[in-house]
Amino acid sequence: MKVSRRGEYAIKALMYLGAKDAPSGATTSEIAKHAQIPEPFLNQILLVLKNGGLLRSRRGANGGYVLNKPKGEITIGEISRLMDGPLAPIPCASVTAYEPCPSCPEPESCRLSLLMRKVRDSISEILDNTTLEELV
């Protein structure tokens, strides 16, 4: 698992919205300025977060983005999977995007796969039990 710039910026944007905790939310420009994210890139990220159910948007003069659920219910694991895909370091260790290794005749007893599943489980344990609320 590698956290992309996109994933990092998504977490920073959500942290800003979680800390602001205002019913009116924040505009893209405001989030970009405070979280130090290039605004064109942020627009793409916010759309993914909205389509993933973590944000909702309001149009108009008082428009902007707000969290779609309480910050205590949004996990870093959820954000990471939405932005960067599976947490497993290799496809044969993934729960959500499993792909068998073509060179492995017995995937269930493959020592590398077993090790990478432990890595996946450890990463998942930490990220799925850390909420946005804990980071703001």
pLDDT tens digits for range 13-44: 999 999 987 778 899 999 999 999 999 999 99
Structure tokens belonging to residue 9: 């910026």
Query: Which pTM value belongs to this model?
Result: 0.89
pLDDT (average), residues 127-131: 98
CB 113 within 8 A of CB 102: no
Distance of alpha carbon 135 from alpha carbon 47, whole angstroms: 22
pLDDT band at 90, cuts 50/70/90? Answer: confident
The residue among 69, 65, 73, 60 whose CA lies nearest residue 34 is: 65
| Neighbour count for residue 44 (Cβ, 10 Å) | 11
More confident residue, 95 or 76: 76
The residue among 83, 22, 29 whose CA lies nearest residue 52 is: 83
pLDDT band at 128, cuts 50/70/90? Answer: very high
The whole-chain average pLDDT of the chain stands at 92
What pLDDT sits at residue 107? Answer: 75
